[in-house]
Amino acid sequence: LHKSPDHRNLVLPKPLLAALRGELTPRVPIWLMRQAGRYLPEYREIRARTPRFFERCYTPELVVEITLQPVRRFGMDGAILFSDILVVVDALGGEVEILEGRGPVVEPLADARALERLSAERLRPHLEPVYEAVRLLARALPERITLIGFAGAPWTLAAYMVEGETSRDFHRARRLARAEPDLFARLIGLLIDATSDHLMAQIEAGAEAVQIFDSWAGLLPETEFERWCVRPVLAVAERVKARHPAVPVIVFPRGVGAGYRRFRDEPAVDGLSLDATVPLLWAREELAGVCLQGNLDPIALLAGGAVVERETDRILDALAGRPFVFNLGHGVLPETDPAEVQALVERVQRLRPPIDPARHRPAGEAPDDRP
């Protein structure tokens, strides 16, 4: 598939898996959220031929091809399955479509009757083409590359289901959670079942690591964050780990600031994906004991060139000496120039000389006043 330059094979067979298991890797592995998709001309070509989004998601040969496109071009260390968090909503029987230029549109869920119509029983049969694609990918990928499965977190899925579409603030979803917490808890409970089952099915088909995307976790104030993000995400992670203890689980609670600390000492959480606002020296101190992932601002890739280089080096320096996975702070934007992604992957993957630890003292600290 990909003719990798020799240095990429000098390291462990799967640098991404090694880092997620807490090992220090000779070079930092990289993959990018939304690395497949609209910024690639070869994806847009497939989209023109197969305009229905879910048709692309449920045709195993297309899923395989779209998943491999960025890996073939750029040689990342991880291949994330081409799919969407909303396939779970579709499988449960929630009416959902993905419209061009508008994103997801869902029949809004407003009451108990709508909730009763959803069923977790349809999940595995409905998503069988997705699992078939995972099986094909597990066979097609070169040894160095880790196959990543994923699911939306219960809160983020519930937010789309109640709101009916994307939104800046998800007022309707947050109002329902406050006004009818018992109903909302039942929805979250159903989504805990569905997302953990979906992740386990991907693992059973060959996914080697999984990521839980809680893209809208940052909208929740403290107590709501605990109830609708932390507890459901940990419930999902714990169920997956109980069945598949060796498979790393990465959590991406986007925008939660100091709330990232809630995931640092959890045995079920192997990786913590940082959004671009998280200060890295804070993360280095406060989030020890878990493999960090992140956090280049996707906008930096639009500026390109020296901006990306400077930011990339700053991130690599800040996390040097720690198990770390390079990624963006959120998904690749559709306007991104593929050449910038290419340059980024090359920069991260080249072996860097060991870094002088003296450069890593936080500003103002004397050379030997650290424990």
Interface positions with ligand 1CP (CB under 6 A): 33-38, 47, 53, 80, 82, 84-86, 98, 100, 103-104, 150, 166, 213, 215, 330-331
CB of 73 to ligand 1CP, least distance (A): 13
| Token pair recorded at residue 245 | 């203890």
- Return the number of the residue (82 or 326) whose C-beta is nearest ligand 1CP: 82
Residue 160 a catalytic site member:
yes
- Return the number of the residue (82 or 155) whose C-beta is nearest ligand 1CP: 82
Residue 6 a catalytic site member:
no
| Token pair recorded at residue 359 | 């450069």
- Return the number of the residue (320 or 345) whose C-beta is nearest ligand 1CP: 345
- Return the number of the residue (72 or 361) whose C-beta is nearest ligand 1CP: 72
Burial (CB count <10 Å: 0-12, 13-18, 19+), residue 46: middle
CB of 80 to ligand 1CP, least distance (A): 4
CB of 28 to ligand 1CP, least distance (A): 19
Residue with tokens 């869902």: 106
> What's the CA gap between 81 and 79, in Å, rounded?
6
126 to each of 122, 155, 343, how far by Cα in Å? 6, 22, 39
Q: How many CB atoms lie within 10 A of CB 180?
A: 15
CB of 210 to ligand 1CP, least distance (A): 11
Q: Of the residues 39, 43, 131, 160, which is catalytic?
A: 160
**Among 320, 248, 345, which Cα is nearest to 17's?**
248
The distance from CA 42 to its chain's CA centroid, rounded to whole angstroms, is 22
The distance from CA 327 to its chain's CA centroid, rounded to whole angstroms, is 9
- Return the number of the residue (166 or 172) whose C-beta is nearest ligand 1CP: 166
Q: Of the residues 84, 197, 275, 297, which is catalytic?
A: 84
Q: Of the residues 8, 27, 39, 47, which is catalytic?
A: 47
Residue 320: which residues within 8 A CB-CB, separation 6 or more? 355, 360
Give the torsion sign (CA, 102, 104, 106, 110).
negative
- Return the number of the residue (84 or 270) whose C-beta is nearest ligand 1CP: 84
- Return the number of the residue (126 or 322) whose C-beta is nearest ligand 1CP: 126
CB of 53 to ligand 1CP, least distance (A): 5
Q: Of the residues 38, 72, 264, 361, which is catalytic?
A: 38
CB of 323 to ligand 1CP, least distance (A): 22
Q: Produce one character per residue of 322-333: b if its CB has 16 or more CB atoms within 10 Å, e if not.
A: bbbbbbbbbbbe
Residue 38 a catalytic site member:
yes
Active site residues: 34, 38, 47, 84, 160
